Amino acid sequence: MNDIFADRISDVPRSFIREILKVALDPEVISFAGGLPNRDLFPVNELTNATNEVFQIYGNDIFQYSNSEGYIKLREYIAQNYNRQGLSVNPENILITNGAQQGLDLLGKVLLNDGDGVVLEEPGYLGAIQAFSLYKPSFLPVQVSEQGMDIDGLRNVLQQNKAKLIYTVPNFQNPSGITYTNENRQAIAQIIQDKQLFLIEDNPYGDLRFSGEPALSFAHYLPEKVIMLGSFSKIVVPGFRIGWIVAPDVILNKLLIAKQASDLHTCHFTQYIIYQYLQKNNIQDHINKVAQQYGEQCQSMLASLDKYFPSNVTSTKPEGGMFLWVTLPPQVSAMELFDLAVKEKVIFVPGTPFYVNKNHGNTFRLNFSCTDKPTTEIGIKRLGNALKKLQNKV
């Protein structure tokens, strides 16, 4: 029976995170495992109004089949947003996708032959590993740290391999929460400027900055080599599944063929609702509110880690986004900690699935967007207890 399947599907890692999330169904469990925006902050009233307006203004126009590129006014809005940051983006270079995840799939479809080199951050975004795996590339992992991508590591990897893509989440990365410095971005741009490859800048969290100063997009340095992915999932709602790709003409034309073949077009109804919402509301006020709350919850988590964890446990100090990254002493296993943590009724995601090489067993990801400050403190205290039990056992 097994030979009925395509080879490509056997290479896709199952989402360990989805398995973990089943434990989270117990209401007594405090979950730092998810990767969800905080549902209490969704602008439901505003979206209700926007939806009613869309029905009133457009009637049955928007329920018909539509173009594969996406709603032009929404694409104009997105382009203007980039251009306010000093970039030069044309609405014709934007394709609306079903969340940024579909952008990854379409890019894999259009660009990757079997064995093509794809530089991945280590640790890296699991959804990208899954999406690209279907196109059977050869993954080229490069470490990331608080400064960004390891420059020597990148240089070595590109000297020893022909890479077609470099995949990055340079702002408040999932899973680590780190942000590439401007110097780091510039150094990367210098390394790749003469190479025939594309750099994907996946930026779902970039707007959710709660401290520090914004860094420049890679598109400032190498506009013709950068493909940008964006999404309304973290700043409006994820359930509408509205993301986008910004790509040079030559790539966009191929992406459009792939989009047509994949699902004709993204739901126009939700595109119109988002656009109407953006017209009638100050999205920046909303983003500020979300970022502020995430910042407070992050601070609370960092303070609790200080209080309940020994000093040989370290963590990243995110300036935005939804995640931070904890490193245990080298000999301590996050998977073993996970088993004890479940008994203490707290969960997180062990670091292993975020590595292609699967060899950093002493790390894990914590999500801070969905738990309020008191719950965060209780959860981290439980986690500290689990660690004590693990270390007494060792």
Residues 199-258 binding a second copy (CB under 8 A) are 233, 237-241, 250-251, 254, 257-258
| C-beta closer to a second copy: residue 94 or 96 | 96
| C-beta closer to a second copy: residue 98 or 363 | 98
| Tokens 């969905």 found at | 370
Residues 333-392 close enough to bind a second copy by CB under 8 A = none
57 binds a second copy (CB under 8 A): no
CB of 17 to a second copy, least distance (A): 10
Q: CA 234, 266, 165, 138 torsion: positive or negative?
A: positive
Instruction: Decide: 205 and 171 in contact? Cβ < 8 Å.
Output: yes
CB of 162 to a second copy, least distance (A): 11
Pick from 119, 116, 95: nearest CA to 229: 95
| C-beta closer to a second copy: residue 139 or 269 | 269
CB of 12 to a second copy, least distance (A): 5
CB of 352 to a second copy, least distance (A): 19
CB of 25 to a second copy, least distance (A): 12
Residues 100-119 close enough to bind a second copy by CB under 8 A = 101-102, 105, 109-113, 116
CB of 105 to a second copy, least distance (A): 5
CB of 67 to a second copy, least distance (A): 9
Instruction: Decide: 218 and 189 in contact? Cβ < 8 Å.
Output: yes
| C-beta closer to a second copy: residue 127 or 320 | 127
Q: Please tell me the distance from the alpha carbon of residue 189 to that of residue 102, in angstroms, as a whole number.
A: 26
| C-beta closer to a second copy: residue 262 or 288 | 262
Single out the segment in contact with a second copy by CB under 8 A; choices: 61-69, 138-146, 150-158, 376-384: 61-69
Q: Please tell me the distance from the alpha carbon of residue 103 to that of residue 123, in angstroms, as a whole number.
A: 20
Neighbours of 55 (CB within 10 A): 13
Instruction: Decide: 79 and 107 in contact? Cβ < 8 Å.
Output: no
Crossing angle (nearest 10°) for helices 283-308 and 373-393? 30
Single out the segment in contact with a second copy by CB under 8 A; choices: 97-105, 182-190, 199-207, 349-357: 97-105
Neighbours of 372 (CB within 10 A): 13
Residues 247-306 close enough to bind a second copy by CB under 8 A = 250-251, 254, 257-258, 260-270
* Partners of 94 in beta bridges: 246
| CB-based contacts of 92, cutoff 8 Å, min separation 6 | 75, 249, 252
| CB-based contacts of 169, cutoff 8 Å, min separation 6 | 121, 124, 125, 202, 203, 204, 205
> Of 69, 71, 96, 98, which one interacts with a second copy (CB under 8 A)?
98
Greatest C-alpha distance within the chain: 66
> Of 27, 28, 196, 282, which one interacts with a second copy (CB under 8 A)?
196
> Of 26, 55, 249, 280, which one interacts with a second copy (CB under 8 A)?
55
Instruction: Decide: 115 and 264 in contact? Cβ < 8 Å.
Output: no
> What does the per-residue mask of binding to a second copy show for 134-173, with x meaning CB under 8 A?
xx----------------------------x---------
CB of 326 to a second copy, least distance (A): 23
Q: Please tell me the distance from the alpha carbon of residue 210 to that of residue 291, in angstroms, as a whole number.
A: 5
DSSP state of 162: -
Q: Please tell me the distance from the alpha carbon of residue 228 to that of residue 203, in angstroms, as a whole number.
A: 7
| C-beta closer to a second copy: residue 108 or 361 | 108
> Of 32, 167, 180, 198, which one interacts with a second copy (CB under 8 A)?
198
Q: Which residues of 76-101 are buried (b: 16+ CB within 10 A; e: fewer)?
A: ebbbeebeeeebebebebbbbbbbbb
| C-beta closer to a second copy: residue 240 or 348 | 240
| C-beta closer to a second copy: residue 236 or 337 | 236
Instruction: Decide: 355 and 123 in contact? Cβ < 8 Å.
Output: yes
| C-beta closer to a second copy: residue 195 or 373 | 195
42 binds a second copy (CB under 8 A): yes
CB of 55 to a second copy, least distance (A): 5
> Of 31, 130, 168, 363, which one interacts with a second copy (CB under 8 A)?
130
